[in-house]
Structure 1
Amino acid sequence: MDHAEGSTQNAAHRVPVCYRHPDRETGVRCTRCERPICPECMVSASVGFQCPECVRGGSGTGHAPTASRPRTVAGGPVTADPRLLTKVLIGINLAVYLVQLAVGYSFTDHFELVGRVQFSQFGPVEGIAGGQYYRLLTAMFLHSPTSYTHILFNMLSLWWIGGPLEAALGRARYLTLYFVSGLAGSALTYLLADPLQPSLGASGAIFGLFGATGVLMRRLNYDLRPLIALLVINLIITFMPGFHIAWQAHIGGLVAGVAVGYAMIHAPREKRTLVQYGACAVILAVVVVLTLVRTAQLT
């Protein structure tokens, strides 16, 4: 009898798992059928979230669907492959890395983030200060050719963090978050780092995904401690002596990711698109201002 009571109590304290993904714990349930659903399966409804079956009218409840199309937590359409863009981004990074290895430093030198390659009163300024603003973007897809661990850790982080976040936000919002965070990291690096010190890597964009994931987990009442621990470890490594890491890219990406992620997740339904992409526009405006200020300092 005691054993049976103990088993019943243990079962009562177990965290529910998503009915479509049994390996994912969740504290959120469909407001219509009350089945547990993970972020990938959540569809925004007028009140709370619904599962895809209820939205399509296939739950057997006899009620008409409340939405014409399944939507993610942030209002994006639910897709058949919720990790597609994450796979594409990883593929692009790996392809560019292979080009770096094949072509050599001449390729990397032309596209990495550097404020000023050389400066002379008799000649043009090269680098971002010389008008090569594309480096703010291209540096996000480059990694150190001499360190396999650089791209390995970045791509593993992109897969672990980016995949679930893409499913929760939807493709367009996820891709926007990625690029805005990456550009914010590049802009802060350009503003604060030594203009002659080159920088490269997807870390700024990935830290932006970290920030947005934290906002999402807090919104869904998930335990933030594992994410915070991982983020603290990354920040410790960032500031450790001996590691030549552009901390400015990490901090810039993280701050932008939190800001954009908050707008994506908490935007009111009636003004969702305006608030979400308006926040992105504000961050991009800050990127432009920081870039112009630094360029004026270096020219």
Structure 2
Amino acid sequence: MAANQPEPGSEWPDFVPPDFEQSIPQAPKEPTAGGAVPPFSGPVLPPQSNTYRPDTGPSGRPGRQSDDRWFSRPAGNGGAAFGPRAAGRTPVTNALIGICVVVWMLQNLSYTFNDLVMLIPSVANTEPWRFLTSAFAHAPRSLTHIGFNMLTLWLMGRYLEPILRGRLFLAVYLISALGGGTLFVLLAFPPGSGPGGTGSNWNSAVVGASGAIFGLFGAYLVLAWTMKRSVTPMLVLLGLNLVMIVLFPGIAWSAHVGGFLTGAAASAVVFWNRRRSAAAGGSQPWWRLAMVVGILVAALVIKYLTI
């Protein structure tokens, strides 16, 4: 997510190292009747719980069920609340990328449309849709901005969507986008107020999916920590982004940090709920996610009431 600059397209995109895709861990292999092991794009389960037992699914055919609590099937509805599924099935990620591309094209065609989707703190209280529309918008005429963001979204979506499943993945993404915009607004001040009385970013516009993408980074760390996987690749990636923020001050770092913290919090809620509800059939944590959204909204209301 990059703040507006004098020269369109001059923003430095979120950094994605060339070998990032190789940092995605290999997945557990699913035994088949013929002994062949099909490819799978999910994460490696902890060694002490990476065992499988035969199970019969709703169709009556032999299936697989892990005794790992994060990926065991809930009883009753025949489908997991979240868990690994067939490789390549990432409809939500594909839809998000498609929406971003369409919005970016409309931004290039209409300056009026571009002005309506950007997040500007001075008007966001009366036009709250900007908190989400700005996460689907990018700098007009900047292929690097949207290109790097969509590449990163595609890579993260390939890993996380099959685990969280579509609805929870979308919820974490949108909540992260809201969190990124929220921190950007909380740290913006009208002229004559704020630290030093000089104001900050109150009339600046911010666009980009990187706040939401940083939320996926936070979700990755929560997942890796929960499953005792290495978090080093993501820490390296975050460190490189920190360097970019220092070298290129035009980047809206507060939106990145806000998205990251909110995405990590939302994912922690999801996995904590899964741990608590595994014995009760794996209920999904919608009301807890609603509480995260409520905290963000409350912070914004207090901000605008006190300026």
State the TM-score, normalized to the length of structure 2: 0.71
2:51 maps to 30
Structure 2 counterpart of 1:294, from 280, 298, 303: 303
Dislocated runs of 4+, deviation >6 Å: 22-25
Q: Which has the higher helix share?
A: 1
Amino-acid identity (%): 31
Q: Write out aligned runs for 1:5-84 (5 A).
A: 18=29, 19-21=37-39, 26-28=44-46, 29-32=50-53, 45=67, 49=71, 69-71=78-80, 75=82, 78=85, 82-84=89-91
1:166 maps to 161
Larger Rg: 1
Contact map agreement 1:210 1:257 (CA 8 A) in 2: yes
Q: Write out aligned runs for 1:141-180 (5 A).
A: 141-180=136-175
Contact map agreement 2:82 2:165 (CA 8 A) in 1: yes
Q: Measure the CA separation in 1 of the matches of 2:116 and 2:271.
A: 37
Q: CA RMSD in A?
A: 3.0
Q: Number of paired residues?
A: 248
State the TM-score, normalized to the length of structure 1: 0.73
Gaps of 5+ in 2: 1-25, 30-36, 55-62, 189-200
Q: Write out aligned runs for 1:256-267 (5 A).
A: 256-267=262-273
Label 1:277 to 1:79 Cα distance change in 2 as closer, same or farther (>3 A): farther
2:283 maps to 273
Structure 2 counterpart of 1:140, from 111, 121, 135: 135
Structure 2 counterpart of 1:205, from 195, 199, 212: 212
Is 1:111 the counterpart of 2:117? The answer is: yes
SS at match of 1:26: coil
Q: Measure the CA separation in 2 of the matches of 1:48 and 1:143.
A: 35
Label 1:187 to 1:214 Cα distance change in 2 as closer, same or farther (>3 A): same
Q: Measure the CA separation in 2 of the matches of 1:22 and 1:176.
A: 24
Q: Measure the CA separation in 2 of the matches of 1:279 and 1:145.
A: 36
Q: Deviations over 1:6-65 (max 9, x none)?
A: xxxxxxxxx8853331687735423326xxxxxxx9866585746xxxx7xxxxxxxxx9
Greater length-normalized contact order (CA 8 Å, ≥ 6 residues apart) = 2
